[in-house]
A and B are shown apart, each in its own frame.
Chain A
Amino acid sequence: MSDVLLKIRDLKIEGRSDETWNPIINGVSLDLKKGEVLGMIGESGAGKSTVGLAAMGYTRDGVRISNGTIEFDGIDLVRASAAVKRGLLGKRIAYVAQSAAASFNPAHKLMDQHTEGPVQHGVASRKESEADGIELYRRLRLPNPEEIGFRYPHQVSGGQLQRAMTAMAMACRPDLIIFDEPTTALDVTTQIEVLASIRDIVEQFNTSAIYITHDLAVVAQMADKIKVLLKGDEVEEADTRTMLSAPKEEYTKSLWAVRSFERPTKPAINVSATPVVSIQNVTAAYGTVDVLHDVSFDIHAGRTVAVVGESGSGKSTTARCITGLLPPRIGHIEFDGTPLPLSYKQRNKDQLRQAQMIYQMADTALNPRKSIGETIGRPVEFYMGLKGREKRKRVEELLAEIELEPTEYFNRLPSELSGGQKQRIGIARALAAEPKFIICDEVTSALDQLVAEGILRLLAKLQDELGLSYMFITHDLATVRSIADEVIVMKEGEVVEQGPKKEMFTPPHHPYTDLLLSSVPEMDPDWLDNLLRERGVDNLGDAAVDKM
């Protein structure tokens, strides 16, 4: 069958803000054949999700289709009545959302939500649909397929929920599924399981799919062809291999090139020097449960130590111990060779000043009602005691340091900044205390690749100029590769392996490091196939059970 299933022509979409309609999508066209998978990539704000939802004839509140046609199997979705669309949604066109944890209704069991579509659409009885659900859970390699559907969403892990949501989308055997960033919220090791499951099941049922993501390496594994979007405009479209090997447009090339930033290797650490921060045999607990077990490592002057691991491995908890927010139960922390009081409450101003933090979500880490000048001025006054004109001068210096025009940004509010600029303000605020040591907690993971790279370059420049030490918490190994000097791998609250970056990226590895490294998607379209062959599918099943 080579018939076109979905045909979009010159689609224009507008969003309402400040009482006027502003364009979001400026004319996107696409054709999708039966059984074909289209990858749609672009940075945040490119309009990927908007196009994906429009392909279902759906727009969110405050968004409207202003022009163009969307034809699904001959039905015009722009002009179809709500009742006609309801007949298609869930039955012939299904949706898999980015966060399964938020998209499953917390009040109902997985199976009740799974069977709802088929029963409401009259496709199957509750009993048939339940049996089919268990079968789909089995095919998606969910552990305990007979039983897992009878749990509530909060009783199931994120990776499992994402697969259960894919199963739910398959419940009526739709012709088309929209996958909206289905693995973005997952750890790399979990991502592989979900990617493999999605690809298998789409192939088995010859389902067409639109796969939306910002991760090029992921889309390379999943899609037959790729479309690139930029700020609501179509950049280019080509089949996956062509797109990866020979992108035509400059913008696409720039996306491809991001992963090339890498700092030169620094000379080996002078072992006799006193480390800036030394974490010694730290065990910490939330309540009565130990979450960190005997963690020890040093951070030397002018070095970047990357702490990597999956969610729940204790990376951020370690940071909380260093800052004194969570006093360790056992062990201690030294700064420049002097032991620090364990709780921040007992530390003096100078001890507090020396260690600063930059946060993952710059959005929530900045007070929305304080101007940039006030936000940065606060630590300048608090730690350095500067006031009035001197304070203003220092804030302007800091703004220049983070490459933002001082006079232009001084009076702005956080809402008037882009994501990358907000993160720069976070950096300036940390610098204002003139610290020796900064903890960067996933500072680039909420940012698009190009913007993230700018932040990494800035951090590197500041380190060279000011001799700062960084503890860089991340789950992204590409980031580790580009800026780390030393790497610490954590798993379930323990340090699994540590050493210079070069050693960490050359075999032999600790098995867990190996699992992490090999799980990072690569741009090669055959990467997933090769990896699965190497690991063996049974192995993958075991990994899924391990995660329980």
Chain B
Amino acid sequence: MHKPVAGLIRIILQRLLLGLLTLFAVSIIIFIAVNALPGDFAESILGQGATAEAVNAIREQLGLNESPLSRYFSWLSGVLRGDFGIPMSQALFQSFTGASTGGEVVTVVDQIVPRLKNTLFLAGVSAAISVPLAVTLGILTALYRNTAFDKAMNVSTLSAISSPEFFLAYILILFLAVLNPVFPSLSNIFPGMEFSDRLNKTMLPALTLTLAVTAQMMRMTRAAIINLLASPYIEMARLKGLSPMRVIVTHALPNALAPIITVVALNLAYLVTGVVVVEVVFVYPGIGQLFVDSVKIRDIPVVQACCLIFAAVYILLNLTADILSIISNPRLRHPK
């Protein structure tokens, strides 16, 4: 069985390379898009009454006057060395006071890493709730298809996905924080917190995200299973006198994994990159908030780093989904 493993490794390497190429293309798009934003850091920090000289001085200091091409390449070469630069806000602080603030230089990485960890924690908790929930509901709705249960589940998950996230968030706050104070409505997470405490404070945003992503995964699970129910091997399983649950779980589900995995991966990516609104509502210190704040003040190095992270998450999760789909196919795992 060496051949399939070697083949799989080749596919993984190919996809990784392709992923890197995509990331490179994305970096160009990010750079162009960020630079196309009206105004820049100098203007936004100095406000409307700023003199042209002052604006120009700051631009000079930050290198904003250089040509876009040279700025792009200096950024890219930094990124390749793992150096995402220094946030403009931090740089400014030092240069104007003319002295160190007493601490070390705060880099973009220093600013992003704790925020990213928080976001990943939130995404992890949401995924731990939503993926098993969605797959289980998908199986149950496939089993009891076209019954009242099936319809009720479809209607409620679809309503959840159709409502704006902030609305869901406020509803949850109303019921689970105000009327029945089960969870706190503010998620002030800080380093060194007890795990249980952290989990407790993450619960409401996690539930909001769960409501937002469950429908798609559930419906895909249901559709992928139902799609297989007409196949001869499912008829065979029924004719062997197996229970309907067993027919679906051991005979249909293993063959329906590929499309389910793909949708799960897409939704997991959303949990990392689409959390802006939820983080803002619950004041959750994640990367989404940082991103929005940085866009507001045109702190380009941070914005670019965040975008690149979002893109990398998408690419990595899709790569993982591809590989898992391949592994789920016995024909590819065990060639003739």
A, B: real partners: yes
- Show the binding face of A for B, using Cβ within 8 Å: 56, 58, 60-61, 85-91, 94-95, 97, 99, 102-108, 116-117, 120-121, 151-152, 154-155
Of chain A, the residue at the smallest CB distance from B239 is A95
Chain A CB within 10 Å, residue with most, of B236, B251, B330: B236
- CB of B235 within 8 A of CB of A103, answer yes
Q: Quick check: which of B15-23, B109-117, B225-233 contacts chain A, the rest being far away?
A: B225-233
Chain B's nearest CB lies how many Å from the CB of A48? 16
Known: A88-B241, A90-B241, A121-B241. A104 touches B236 (CB 8 A): yes
Tell me the nearest residue of chain B to A60, going by C-beta: B235
A107-B255 CB under 8 A given contacts A120-B246, A154-B331, A154-B336 = yes
Is B81 interfacial (CB-CB < 8 Å)?
A: no
For residues 234 through 279 of chain B, which have their beta carbon under 8 Å from a beta carbon of chain A? 235-243, 246, 250-251, 254-255
With A and B bound together, what is the CA distance between A102 and B336 in angstroms? Answer: 17
> Which residue in A85, A88, A95, A107 is a CB contact (below 8 Å) of B254?
A107
Interface set of B (CB-CB < 8 Å, partner A): 230-233, 235-243, 246, 250-251, 254-255, 330-331, 334, 336
Q: A103-B236, A107-B254 are in contact. Are A91 and B241 (CB under 8 A)?
A: yes
Instruction: Supply 28 A–B pairs (Cβ within 8 Å), ascending by A.
Output: A58-B239, A85-B241, A86-B242, A89-B239, A90-B240, A95-B239, A97-B232, A99-B232, A102-B233, A103-B232, A103-B233, A103-B235, A104-B233, A104-B236, A105-B251, A105-B254, A105-B255, A106-B233, A106-B255, A106-B330, A106-B331, A107-B251, A116-B240, A117-B241, A120-B240, A152-B331, A154-B334, A154-B336
User: B239: which A residues are within 8 A, CB to CB?
Assistant: 56, 58, 89-90, 94-95
Docked complex Cα distance between A540 and B328 (Å): 38
Tell me if B's interface is mostly helix, strand, loop or mixed.
helix
Is there an interface contact between A105 and B233, defined as CB atoms closer than 8 Å? Answer: yes
- What is the minimal beta-carbon distance from B252 to any residue of chain A, in angstroms? 9
User: With A97-B232, A151-B334, A155-B334 given, can you name 14 additional A-B contacts, CB distance below 8 Å?
Assistant: A86-B242, A87-B241, A90-B239, A90-B240, A90-B242, A94-B239, A103-B235, A104-B236, A107-B255, A116-B242, A120-B240, A121-B241, A152-B334, A154-B331
- Nearest CB of A to B228, in Å: 10
- Shortest CB-to-CB span from B92 to chain A, Å, is 60
Report yes or no: A117 in contact with B330, Cβ–Cβ below 8 A: no
Contacts of B331 in A (CB 8 A): 106, 152, 154
Partner of A89, one of B241, B246, B250, B254: B241
A-chain residues with CB within 8 Å of residue B254 when the two chains form the complex: 105, 107-108
Chain B nearest CB: distance from A104 CB in Å? 6
Q: Give A116's nearest chain B residue, CB to CB.
A: B240
State how many angstroms separate the Cβ of B329 from the closest Cβ of chain A: 8
| Chain B residues near A94 (CB-CB < 8 A) | 239-240
Check A89/B240 contact, CB under 8 A, given A99-B232, A103-B235. yes
| Nearest-CB residue, chain B, relative to A171 | B240
Please pick, from A60, A102, A105, the residue contacting B237 in the complex, using a CB distance under 8 A: A105
Contacts of B255 in A (CB 8 A): 105-107
Nearest-neighbour CB distance to chain B for A47, whole angstroms, equals 17
**Could you say which residues of chain A place their CB within 8 Å of the CB of B238?**
58, 89
What 8 A-B pairs have minimum CB-CB distances, sorted nearest first? A89-B241, A90-B240, A107-B254, A90-B241, A102-B232, A95-B239, A105-B233, A86-B241
Q: Are B230 and A61 in contact (CB under 8 A)?
A: yes
Min Cβ gap B238→A in Å is: 7
CB-CB under 8 A from B246, the residues of chain A are 120
Which B-chain residue is minimally distant from A58 (CB atoms)? B239
CB atoms of B236 and A95 under 8 A apart: yes
The distance in angstroms between the C-alpha atoms of A151 and B240, with both chains bound, is 20
